[in-house]
Every structure is written in structure tokens, then in C-alpha cells.
Homo-oligomer: A and B are copies of this chain.
Amino acid sequence: MTRKYRVIVLRLGHRPQRDSRVTTHVGLTARALGANGILIAGPVDKGVEESIRRVIEKWGGVFEIASGVNWINVINEWKKRGGEIIHLTMYGVHLNLAINKIRCSSKDKLIIVGAEKVPGKAFHLADYNVAIGSQPHSEVAALAIFLDRLFQGKWEELNFKNAVFRVIPSKSGKKVFRVRNRHL
């Protein structure tokens, strides 16, 4: 799948310990569905970074990870370079009203997903505040549906290069084959 833009997820409000598992889910979902990386605002969390890196080492692909970033600086830098900002929030406009415009623009996309409370400033800095339903649910679910619609379900065509293992899809069990040895 060739892309005309980069997609980076910016995770806001991450608190180590309490949010580590959900933030790991956000990162792995971003990777599996075709985003290019995740930036985690808040304190540095080596545990989350390592969890995601272990998956990349085993299952392949190129995916950037950094924690401990300052989200305002990231947004300002992103805008300066001509990228656009999409904030996923239950308070935003319906996904269906925004997705075509977002998909068709060739600008790099920074996708903001928050933990429980997102500062009001994020709503104002975003070019789009987009709701994946106007009900409270999960930033992992919202990101998954957003990326699925953005890439029109083509994540199944993604190629995770340099994987050690690949899955052979199966009706009734776990079939995995080793593509190469580690560290080769």
C-alpha cells in the first residue's frame, strides 16, 4: 500500500502504571492498522516503549515510538511543517462528515487520542475534532475505526518487513511460521 501522507498518533494524558496497558493497546493498534508511529505525551514510560518494540522485533514493520514528549510543542511543530491535526473525541463532528476530506487531503496527519480528560486547548488546536460516535467508549476503539475508515480497510495489505514470525490465517487454530532467525 503506498501512501501520500504520514500518520502519527499523539497520545495525550498518559500516566505511567495506570495507563500503561491502554497506551500499549493504542500503540499496537496504530501499528497494526497502518500508522507510522506513536508519540506519548507526559512522563517517559520505557515499559510501554519496550512492549511495543518487542512486538516490532517479532512481527516486523517500521514504526516510530517516543514517550515523554511535550504535546504542545509536537502540535506546533506539526503545524509549522504543514501537517494537519485530527483529534478523536466523542464531542466532535460525526466521522462520516469529516472522513472524506481528511482522506483526500495530502497533508501529514497527527491523530490525537486522549486518556480521560483532554485539555480544552487540544480542541482548539485541532483542525478536526472527530467523533467515533457521541458516546463514551475507548480511545483504542476510536483510533481503530478511524484508521480503518481512513485507509478504507486496506490494512490487510500492509507488509510488515523483517518479521521473525508470520501468521498463516486458519479456521480453527494457531498457525505461525518463522520467516527468519532473530538478529539476522
Residues of A that sit less than 8 Å from B by CB: 18-19, 21-22, 25-26, 28-29, 31-33, 55, 59, 90-96, 120, 123-124, 126, 129, 131, 133-138, 140-145, 148, 153, 155-156, 158, 160, 166-167, 169-176
Indicate if the CB atoms of A123 and B33 lie closer than 8 Å. Answer: no
User: Which B-chain residue is minimally distant from A54 (CB atoms)?
Assistant: B136
Least CB distance, A169 to chain B, in whole angstroms: 5
Contact A133/B172 with A138-B144, A148-B148 known, Cβ cut-off 8 Å: no
Contacts of A18 in B (CB 8 A): 21
Indicate if the CB atoms of B93 and A137 lie closer than 8 Å. Answer: no
Interface of A, secondary structure class, is mixed
Q: In the complex, what distance in Å separates the CA atom of A25 from the CA atom of B29?
A: 14
Indicate if the CB atoms of A133 and B174 lie closer than 8 Å. Answer: no
Contacts of A126 in B (CB 8 A): 172
User: Which B-chain residue is minimally distant from A120 (CB atoms)?
Assistant: B173
| Residue of B26, B92, B95, B167 touching A91 (CB-CB under 8 A) | B167
Contacts of A175 in B (CB 8 A): 91
Least CB distance, A90 to chain B, in whole angstroms: 6
Indicate if the CB atoms of A32 and B170 lie closer than 8 Å. Answer: no
Indicate if the CB atoms of B137 and A25 lie closer than 8 Å. Answer: yes
